[in-house]
A and B are shown apart, each in its own frame.
Chain A
Amino acid sequence: MFLIDCPYCGERDQQEFKAGGEAHIERPKQPTELSDDEWAEYLFMRKNIKGVQFERWNHAHGCRKWFNMARDTSNDEIKAIYKMGEKPPTQ
């Protein structure tokens, strides 16, 4: 059970949060310009790596804000938490 440091509320129990899949996948600005393959890449393709993964999380039973998390999937260590729109940490 994670202890997640919501950037707006502080440390809260994982129960209050909802995971929202891989982060930093921007919705294409001009979807109609994309080929089926390019659209499918956006729509379906997600990484599932062993190591540090960037994820979207939502404080669903709290402030309802979305934010990003860098989590090591091999040991569930939360490496960083940062707001939407911010760049992922480089290390």
Chain B
Amino acid sequence: MTQNLRVKSSEFIDETNRISFKFDGKTYYGFKGDTLASALIANNVHLVGRSFKYHRPRGIMTSGSEEPNAIVQVNPNSNITEPNARATEIEIYEGLEASSQNCWPSVNFDIGGINNFLAPLFPAGFYYKTFMWPKSFWEKYEFFIRHSAGLGKSPNTRDPDIYDHRNIHCDVLVVGAGISGILAAKNAAKNNFKTLLLDEKNELGGSTIFEANEDNKINHNSASEWLKKEINELKNIKNLEIKTRTSVAAYHQYNYLLARENLTDHLDKKDKKNKIRQRLLKIRAKKVILATGALERPLIFNNNDRPGIMLSSAIKKYSNFYGVACGTKNIFFTNNDSAYESALSLHNKGIKVEAIIDIRENSDAKIIKKINDAGIKIYWAHTIVDTRGYKRLSGVSIMKLSNDGTSVTGSKISISCNCLGIAGGWTPAVHLYTQSGSKLTFDEERKIFIPKADTKEQISVGSCGGDFELDEIIENLNYKLKNFLNINKTDFEGITLENDHETSKRNIWLLPSDQTIGKTKPFVDYQNDATAKDIKLALREGFRSIEHVKRYTTTGMGTDQGKLGNMHALGIIADTAGVKMGELGTTTFRPPYTPLTFGTIVGRNVGEFFDTFRRTPMNDWHIKNKAEFENVGQWKRSWYYPKEDETMHQAVQRESKAARQSAGILDASTLGKIDIQGSDASEFLNRVYTNAWSKLAIGKCRYGLMLNEDGMVYDDGVTTRLGENHYIMTTTTGGAANVLGKLEDYLQTEWPELDVYLTSVTDHFATASLCGPNSKKILNKIIPDLDLSDDNFPHMSFKEVLIDKIKCRIMRISFTGELSYEINAPASYGEAIWQKCIEAGKEFNITPYGTETMHLLRAEKGFIIVGQDTDGTMTPSDLQMDWIVSKKKYDFIGKRSLYRSDTMKEDRKQLVGLLTEDPNIVLEEGAQIVSELDQKPVEMLGHVTSSYFSPNLNKSIALAVVKDGKNMMGRKLFIPMENKNISVTVANTVFYDEKNERLNA
């Protein structure tokens, strides 16, 4: 039966609010304020998971975000289950369900546990070494490896929760609300700085708030009582925003930080509904004060991972903050004075402490006397050489340390216990500091990395800055704050401080055992099961760089990112390789500090808000008329309009025929439109297009090709001269934004002397393209007054007209080779004009067609699509478009590059037409082209860029780029496909109406 290990009432736990939750299917009770970890410990449950590689039983080790072992699956039976949550951070709520991970069939009986006994077979690099041969077996290995890899299971349906983003600008951001953070935030806000204080925990006060050390006093009061009063005062301070349950994930340059605010995870199920679960705070702070504290280090000794072995500071927190005893028979193992505080805390609450094992020779701290008075035995200069108990610690064996600390002597003493607190000193939490790009320095005496320097924009205060004792914390904080905030006085200046000082230090990264290291399991990274002997093996095998050792042994690569053991890994490497730790450096601390949910990262940008859609003014008509849509950039363009059971192929064939035989209509609103005005507009066009523009008459249109400075085709489109100094340029749909950007770039940086103004008007106009031999008759019905004769309105010209009092621009231009008119109406009248065309065209069976038919019709005419038939390596000449390149103009963008030796080569890849021997075979776009079938290796001559079955020619047609294609006219080539080789003949790029007779039909 479960045992109740509550030892006292705690002000942080609401014992009137009993909460039931399930762990591994069994129901337990805890109180409001408990974490899953504290509630499980209160129920005497320590075995909560299995380790990753050896499947060793593991228990709760810490009380915070650094937890490596107690990683659980939340809501395991739900589709929206969440893996890898830390039991030490989950606040329990009514209805919470969680389960162990990485074990099967259960945490108590785990088949993978056999790995523990096979451990000698699983050294560092095991996977790299074992699964390399035979090579062909990899796929089989992979199947099994994948099955055993990973920790929890991922959810398999859409996350129903709501997430949010918020931008915050503040003068001072304080990260961490321990004693330093609270004093810093309070003084910043009091001095009129807009201040934000964040802490990952649910309560303010850090570790001071539950400290019960009678030797730490502020103003003759206990430090915790004094701090509680300070926290109480925060409520009345203006300019101060406080967020708890908020973990800073990343610290980027220029004081840009990302934090995750947890809003509902601690609430009961019914209270979570319709509320934002987590919010990503994007913070830009003028000044940042890091008060992130320090993480307690474990000690590395044989079998240091059994359930019941915990950090000494965690045991203290569980007893003082949560009112829970972690064990009934406790031992502490330490290299510093802090474990004595934990031991005394337990003793004062009536929890039995059997002994304290200290690797130091002695300590003159005041607290030692209290421990002696309490009758707790201290073993000086001893170390634990082994531990016992499989699913729960049952005892330890200790021996005397040699003077140099590398071996043990004397006889073995066995002590039974069910909880062991280990205290290996403190590591400043410098993760965020280094993420910001700042450098660390190694303090050889204290064996810690500390921030190298504070700056005008950032300081580290408290223990994350290397100050561990109350008086040095407060005095340094006072000094630093005054400088950083440029203030004369802080409100805590002059408070009286009393505290003890630690004088005796001894650090041994890897503690010796009476057994050889090969027979021991001293874990450095608990989650990834990396032991000290794995690290030593990596060094023996020649790894030197800390980054390489990390990857080879997987030390520090778990979800906890090695918050506990990384320093020991470095220390063991330094000791083994005989180098100084400061020279070794650290591995990189990458964001996020603690894992983020995907929901937090994407915020509201999910579903239809994932990306912006752009719809044309005629969109509703397309939907009503059952169009299928295609994404072109952000645009939704109608692709084709299937009738009843038509397939895409059938619809496109029908649309294509109708457009050539009678009339078709296309929504061309998405084409980029740039309004160009200014007295130098013609000169500007001369410089950006390959052809000449000065002589284009007002009211006429011209097709232009735009190159990059490297001579490659960049964009194309028709530009119309609306007035003496006024043009409207059209660009490709996808290129619109980039073309505008490029033109602005040249105007601002290379040709600032030109008087030219550019305005994007893409969204201002809707464009209906009316095409086919009957298009003139239809237009005549719509605008009877307009003379549509070839004399008055010839091909490549423009008229401004009124249609139902709506001012429209009509261009007689053609992308299909048919007689056609592009009607540009103000966007808000787009659908009305479109409707009018449809009505007027009814008697001619006007057929709406989409982008697919447009592509087919233009391919029949051999018109290129930039981006489909070109790929940034095609010159105008490669496209057989030499006719559009002016020989007379002195310069235009890309001109000089057309005379480079490479661009002038005769046998470049060039655009040609391809006809298949069997006219029914339609080539695949992207298919490779060869001239020989037997040759190995065979030379790839090029590839198919556009391919369709032409209903108007009743055969398949294709465009392709082929090496030396211009000289290959009539040559037979091959397209090798998976099951067959297709014979093709190189042909002209224009398949239909070569003489352009239909333009005036």
Contacts and interface: CB of A to CB of B under 8 A. Distances in A.
Contacts of A80: none
Nearest to B256: A1
A21 to B, nearest CB: 11
Contacts of B744: 64, 66
B891 interface: yes
Contacts of A16: none
B284 A13 contact: yes
Contacts of B745: 20, 58, 66
Contact of A2 (B254, B710, B899, B901): B254
A36 B748 contact: no
Given A1-B253, A75-B437, A31 B891 contact: yes
Interface string A37-51: 001100100000000
Contact of B254 (A3, A20, A85): A3
A1 B741 contact: no
A32 interface: yes
A6 B897 CA distance: 34
A39 B256 contact: no
A32 B741 contact: no
Contact of B896 (A34, A60, A64, A76): A34
A14 B252 CA distance: 12
A26 B252 CA distance: 34
Contacts of A36: 900-901
A3 B897 contact: no
Contacts of A66: 744-745, 748-749
Interface string B252-270: 1111100000000000000
Contact of A1 (B252, B748, B891, B896): B252
A52 interface: no
B253 A43 contact: no
Given A84-B748, A84-B749, A60 B741 contact: yes
A30 B752 CA distance: 17
B55 to A, nearest CB: 42
Interface string A46-81: 000000000010101000111000000001100000
B891 A2 contact: no
Nearest to A67: B748
Contact of A43 (B709, B741, B749): B709
Contact of A76 (B437, B749, B895): B437
* Interface size range of chain B in the complex: 20 to 34
A32 B748 contact: no
Contact of B900 (A3, A39, A60, A76): A39
Contacts of A87: none
A66 B741 CA distance: 10
B888 to A, nearest CB: 13
Nearest to A38: B896
Interface string B890-924: 11000111011100000000000000000000000
B750 interface: yes
B710 A43 contact: yes
A45 B413 CA distance: 73
Interface string A8-36: 00000100001010000011101110101
A40 B896 CA distance: 10
Contacts of B710: 43
A65 B745 CA distance: 8
B706 to A, nearest CB: 16
Interface in B694-749: 709-710, 741, 744-745, 748-749
Given A1-B256, A2-B253, A64-B744, A32 B891 contact: yes
Contacts of B890: 32
A66 B709 CA distance: 19
A37 B252 CA distance: 42
A36 to B, nearest CB: 6
A3 B284 contact: yes
A9 B633 CA distance: 29
Contacts of B284: 3, 13
Interface string B742-767: 00110011101000000000000000
B688 to A, nearest CB: 13
Interface string B425-444: 00000000000010000000
Contacts of A56: 749
A1 B250 CA distance: 11
Interface in B206-261: 252-256
Nearest to B286: A3
Interface in B268-301: 284
B749 A31 contact: no
Contacts of A65: 748
A9 B122 CA distance: 60
A1 B258 CA distance: 11
A6 to B, nearest CB: 14
A13 B284 CA distance: 9
Nearest to A27: B750
A51 B256 CA distance: 23
B750 A3 contact: no
Interface in B897-955: 897, 899-901
Contacts of B897: 39, 43
Contacts of B253: 1-2, 76
Contacts of A20: 745
Give the 9 A-B residue pairs with the shortest CB-CB distance, closest first: A31-B896, A3-B254, A1-B256, A1-B252, A27-B750, A66-B748, A39-B896, A76-B253, A84-B749
Given A18-B741, A36-B900, 4 more contacts: A1-B256, A20-B745, A28-B896, A58-B745
14 contacts: A1-B256, A18-B741, A26-B750, A28-B896, A30-B891, A32-B891, A32-B896, A34-B896, A36-B901, A39-B897, A39-B900, A43-B709, A43-B710, A60-B741
Interface of B: 252-256, 284, 437, 709-710, 741, 744-745, 748-750, 752, 890-891, 895-897, 899-901
